[in-house]
Structures are given as C-alpha cells and as structure tokens.
C-alpha cells in the first residue's frame, strides 16, 4: 500500500500482506518516541507486541533521532518498561553524527558539543574531544538535543563558533518531539536559533545533518545491526518513513505518535509507508490486502474507498477502522500520483472515527 518511487504505481499487495511481518522481515528498526514509549511510559500494547515478535524470531533494534541519552540509558529505560534491550540494540543520531565528524577530523580533534550526555559519549567513543566553549579552540561544532534545560548560553557558544567559520554538524533537525504533555521543541528548533544568529554570513552556513531521514543514520543502523531484511517502524512521515524510502527498505507507520490519519492521506510519495497500523501489534498479525474493487476504488476488510468529484468517499464497513484507512490511502495516493492528494477527506475520516 505504498509507492516504491515517486512515479511507480501503488503496491496494494506488499510482500507482508497475508502474513505476520515478523515472519517476513528479520529486524524491526523501531523508532522510540511515539512508537515504543511516550512521555517515558510504554505505548499501549507495545510491550506485549514486541515480545510476541521476538518469540516469532524477529530481532528488534531501537533507532532514535534523540541524541540526548546514551544507548546504555535507553536500554535500561526499555528494560524497566518490560522491553528487554541491550545497549548494542540502540542506535542514536549522536552515534551517526559522531561517525560523520570522525571520518573528517583527526583523532583527538576538539569539537564544540552543544547537547547532552548521549552526544558527549558518542564523540568520545570516536576519539574526539568534546568542549563547551567557542574559546576552547574547537575545530568543529555539533548540536544535539539537550533537553528542556538546555542553557541559552550553549546556543550562543554554537552561534559564535559557527560565525567564526567552523564546520557545523547536527545530530538531527526534528523541529518537534512528542512528550507526555504534548508536542515540544526538538533539536531542529535549537538549530534554527543558531541559523538565525548567523544569517548575516555570506553564504549563510548550513549544518551537515546525520539523523533520519538522511542516509548517515540508515548507514549507522545497518552497520550496527547487520540487518538483511529490515522493516522501519515509526510514527513520523518526515523522518521514519522518508528515511526508509531513502534507504530503499519497507516501512510500517503506527498511529500512536505524531502522524494522524489526515496527514497520512496527504502524504507525498516519499512519505507513504508500506504498511499502516494502529500500533505495534501489527508486527505479529497478518497484514490485510488492499485490492482494487473493479470500479476505480479500493477495498480492504469490508470497506471500499474511491475519489468521487472533489472528495474521498468511503462505503461499507468492518470491525477495524484502520482497514478503512488503508483503503482510503490507496484511493488518495492513486489520485495524487506523484503529488499530494487534494480531495476533501474530513467526511470519510469522520465515518471511521479518525
């Protein structure tokens, strides 16, 4: 139920349809925030679903753009939630950006580090020396999420160093992150502060970014996990799903985080997942097929969807409203082709309660 490229047709029957995904893919590359946990607590059904997938032989790797925490800390958190994890199963954007920097700078190079412990540890593991001031003779600048307590002065140090012409790196540029209380500013917001403070420069500086959806993060993940048939699992179109698209691998979008049904229907080709599900239980359940209904529409689980005039139209019914959403996605994306669906969606989504 996706496009493999911007001009290829909708795949209404991916390989996993009719089978549990845990039997088709060897490794689930799982985002964390909004997928496994939210606000520090496990997402509903996540613990049992991951255990069932593991029992079926599917390995799990936890791939996060959040550069604040170390893999050890993340693994301990997951284990406390009931998801046994080793630090080696955790891949962070801090690790990806540290590899990028280390491939360009000599061992022992001083790097102005504007971030939290996870970024500091990742730099040291690559033989680099983190420093905190633009006056500590750094030869590069790197930014990573520093948490809500990030001092304003750290951003000032970054702006001063970038203004001096030093190479600028960022673990990721997610503008927002989910939290237990709502959507909060992410590292991308902090990067924008430095960008604004240095826009007087000509040419204006741009950071080199490692995190999802860009290739350095996918490369880091494959190097660390050794996955041969990975499935990217995420809640964001612009990081998780686009990253899977860029890496040429299949993806599962779960509706437990940032992306809602309306955003999904309007997804551009590079943001269209292979599979859509309510939550992680999809890993160990057979995936339904979306099939043409013979009248220009698409059917899934008793629901049929088509574009009529300027609106998406939904008919039929079934026990799982996500089946209706799957049919709507196929209709919307077929109508949109390589663009964005412009049909009205509110009435159809209201019928699903989404």
What's the pLDDT score for residue 182? 81
Q: Is residue 227 part of a domain?
A: yes
Q: With bands split at pLDDT 50, 70 and 90, how would you rate the model's confidence at 6?
A: very low
pLDDT band for 2, please (50, 70, 90 cuts). very low
Q: Same domain for 153 and 205?
A: yes
CA-to-CA distance for 305 and 6, rounded, in angstroms? 22
33 is catalytic: yes
Tell me: pLDDT of 195 over 80: yes
- Per the annotation, the verdict on 31 as an active-site residue is yes
pLDDT (tens digit, 9 = 90+) per residue, 18-74?
Answer: 789 999 999 999 999 899 998 889 999 999 999 999 999 999 999 999 999 999 999
Using alpha carbons only, give the angle 255, 115, 93 rounded to the nearest 5 degrees. 45
Res 289 pLDDT > 60: yes
Looking at 179, 209, 239, which one is the last position of a domain? 209
**Which of 186, 209, 232 is a domain's end point?**
209
Cα dihedral across residues 219, 155, 206, 32: positive or negative? positive
Q: From the candidates 31, 174, 240, 323, which is the catalytic residue?
A: 31
Do 302 and 250 lie in one domain? The reply is yes
Domain count along the chain: 2
pTM (whole model) above 0.85: yes
Give the span between the Cα atoms of 58 and 284, in whole angstroms. Answer: 9
Of 329 and 6, the one with more pLDDT? 329
Give pLDDT tens digits for 215-230: 999 999 999 999 999 9
Average pLDDT, the chain: 93
Tokens 């983190």 belong to residue: 130
Instruction: Give the mean model confidence (pLDDT) for residues 248-260.
Output: 95
202 and 322 housed in the same domain: no
Residues forming beta bridges with residue 208, ordered by sequence position: 169
Instruction: Of 87, 210, 66, give the one whose Cα is nearest residue 142.
Output: 210
111 and 230 both lie in a single domain: no
CATH number of residue 136's parent domain: 3.40.50.1000
Per-residue pLDDT, 283: 97
**The pLDDT value given to residue 15:** 60
Is residue 11's pLDDT more than 80?
A: no
* pLDDT confidence of residue 16: 60
- Diameter of the chain measured on Cα atoms: 69
One domain for residues 148 and 115: yes
Across the range 8-18, mean pLDDT stands at 55
Establish if 144 belongs to a structural domain: yes
The answer to whether residue 6 is domain-embedded is no
Cβ atoms 309, 342 nearer than 8 A: no
Check residues 1 and 257 and name the one with the higher pLDDT. Answer: 257
Q: Which pair of structure tokens corresponds to residue 228?
A: 């041969």
- 59-109 confidence digits (pLDDT tens): 999 999 999 999 999 999 999 999 999 999 999 999 999 999 999 999 999
pLDDT at res. 310 = 92
Question: Which two tokens mark 39?
Answer: 């606000």
Strand partners, 29: 61, 232
Band the pLDDT of 181: cuts 50, 70, 90. Answer: confident
């Amino acid at each position: 139920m996706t496009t493999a490229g911007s001009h290829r047709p909708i795949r209404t029957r991916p390989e996993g349809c009719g089978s549990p995904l845990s039997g088709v893919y060897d490794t689930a590359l799982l985002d964390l925030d909004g997928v496994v946990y939210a606000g520090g607590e496990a997402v509903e059904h996540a613990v049992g679903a991951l255990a069932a997938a593991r029992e079926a032989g599917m390995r799990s790797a936890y791939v996060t753009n959040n550069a604040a925490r170390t893999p050890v800390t993340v693994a301990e958190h997951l284990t406390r939630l009931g998801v046994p994890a080793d630090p080696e199963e955790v891949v962070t954007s801090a690790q990806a950006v540290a590899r990028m920097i280390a491939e360009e700078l000599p061992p022992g190079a001083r790097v102005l580090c504007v971030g939290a412990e996870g970024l500091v540890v990742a730099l040291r593991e690559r033989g680099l020396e983190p420093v905190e001031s633009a006056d500590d003779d750094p030869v590069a600048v790197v930014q990573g999420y520093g948490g809500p307590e990030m001092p304003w002065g750290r951003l000032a140090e970054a702006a001063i160093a970038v203004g001096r012409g030093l190479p600028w790196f960022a673990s990721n540029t997610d503008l927002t992150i989910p939290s237990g209380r709502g959507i909060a500013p992410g590292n991308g917001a902090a990067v924008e502060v430095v960008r604004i403070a240095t826009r007087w420069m000509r040419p204006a500086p741009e950071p080199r970014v490692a995190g999802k959806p860009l290739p350095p993060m996918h490369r880091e993940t494959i190097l660390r996990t050794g996955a041969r048939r990975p499935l990217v699992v995420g809640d964001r179109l612009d990081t998780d799903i686009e990253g899977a698209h860029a890496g040429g691998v299949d993806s599962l979008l779960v509706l437990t985080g940032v992306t809602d049904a309306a955003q999904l229907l309007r997804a551009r080709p590079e943001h269209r997942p292979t599979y859509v599900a309510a939550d992680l239980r999809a890993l160990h359940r057979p995936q339904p097929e979306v099939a043409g209904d013979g009248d220009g529409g698409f059917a899934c689980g008793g629901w049929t969807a088509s574009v009529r005039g300027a609106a998406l139209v939904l008919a039929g019914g079934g026990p799982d409203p996500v089946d209706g959403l799957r049919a709507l996605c196929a209709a919307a994306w077929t109508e949109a082709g390589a663009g964005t669906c412009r049909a009205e969606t509110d009435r159809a989504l209201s019928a699903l309660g989404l």
